[in-house]
Amino acid sequence: QVQLVESGGGLVQAGGSLRLSCAASATNRRIYDMGWYRQAPGKQRELVAGITSTGVTNYADSVKGRFIVSRDNAKNTVYLQMNSLMPEDTAVYYCKAVVAVSVFTMDYWGQGTQVTVSA
């Protein structure tokens, strides 16, 4: 059983910062890519930032230069440092981990954490 537990969401004013964390419990399982997605009301879930097990990152154009994704492989934890937040960043943020299961991989999701940016 793999569980992802997110923390760090909340309410912040525009221009402020937040740091999200997501810890994966995946005993004796290899974790490949990890990442953050978000879903705003009435919109589809979208990729915010991803990071491979070797540290290669990718970002949505809307957050480049403002958000930084990182991970601690020893702790199976992925982080999202969000700076210069804007009201349009308001959404529920979900972390995802791609985990080895036998000879396959499976995607696991966290429960989501609300980020609200006030103007």
Question: What pLDDT digit, counting tens, does each position of 75-106 carry?
Answer: 999 999 999 999 999 999 999 999 998 889 99
CB-count exposure of residue 105 (10 Å: 0-12, 13-18, 19+): middle
* Distance in angstroms (rounded) separating the CA atoms of residues 100 and 3: 14
Q: How far apart are CA 75 and CA 92, in angstroms?
A: 24
Residues 8-41 pLDDT 10s: 999 999 999 999 999 999 878 899 999 999 999 9
Residue 102 DSSP one-character state: T
